[in-house]
Chains A and B, each alone.
Chain A
Amino acid sequence: DAKTTQPNSMESNEEEPVHLPCNHSTISGTDYIHWYRQLPSQGPEYVIHGLTSNVNNRMASLAIAEDRKSSTLILHRATLRDAAVYYCIPEQLGNQFYFGTGTSLTVIP
């Protein structure tokens, strides 16, 4: 398994940007980096994914290091609804995701 390291928890003030880091030093050259989040009492929700280039969508931005050994999920303006556990998933075997322990994000009003 590609080893993933994420902070156990982070805090952010509402309406401020949040940078969620992830180290995945053993990622293979062809694996996409996926980010999912899980709100309380819900299943995981797709956030964003990328391979080499930085990616943007309506939810977030994904910054991928040039050597692909780390990535950062960027929430541009945190809202209370963004309080969740964020999972960085740098490896999948076919259609099987390896979820780590993720980062629990607390958004402070």
Chain B
Amino acid sequence: KAGVTQTPRYLIKTRGQQVTLSCSPISGHRSVSWYQQTPGQGLQFLFEYFSETQRNKGNFPGRFSGRQFSNSRSEMNVSTLELGDSALYLCASSLDGQNYNYGYTFGSGTRLTVV
């Protein structure tokens, strides 16, 4: 079966711009989480969506936002980009995000470079 699909794979943006990243979870998975990975901070949780509702949010500024659609696909948006937003953004999906026996499946990520 198809895995978690993230688009685009690579993105270059200028400071001050905004960007939207997309994540298509595994079919049937209703929970989508987003993580930011940088060399300095490692993997950090951004937020998690389930049935179009944000259930949990990490410690990131309000410039980072997301949403989930009725088909479970999710997007995250970063406004007013800063150089420090350059990172690999990873999306993970699971059946419901609560029963740990299901585990999480990650996508390959979107590499965002802010110049």
Contacts and interface: CB of A to CB of B under 8 A. Distances in A.
Interface in A70-109: 87, 92-102
B107 A43 contact: yes
B104 A46 contact: yes
B58 A95 contact: no
B74 interface: no
B76 interface: no
Contacts of A46: 103-105
A95 B31 contact: yes
A101 B108 CA distance: 19
A96 B58 contact: yes
A35 B99 CA distance: 16
A44 B94 CA distance: 13
A56 to B, nearest CB: 15
Contacts of B94: 95
A87 B44 CA distance: 13
A80 B96 CA distance: 33
B100 A99 contact: no
A78 to B, nearest CB: 22
Given A34-B100, A44-B106, A46-B103, A96 B42 contact: no
B105 A96 contact: no
Given A43-B90, A49-B100, A97 B45 contact: yes
B109 interface: yes
A12 B50 CA distance: 40
Nearest to A34: B100
B109 to A, nearest CB: 5
Contacts of B75: none
Nearest to A50: B100
10 contacts: A43-B4, A43-B108, A44-B43, A44-B104, A92-B100, A93-B56, A94-B48, A94-B98, A95-B56, A96-B33
Interface of B: 4, 31, 33, 35, 42-45, 48, 50, 55-56, 58, 90-92, 94, 97-98, 100, 103-109
Interface of A: 32, 34, 36, 41-46, 49, 87, 92-102
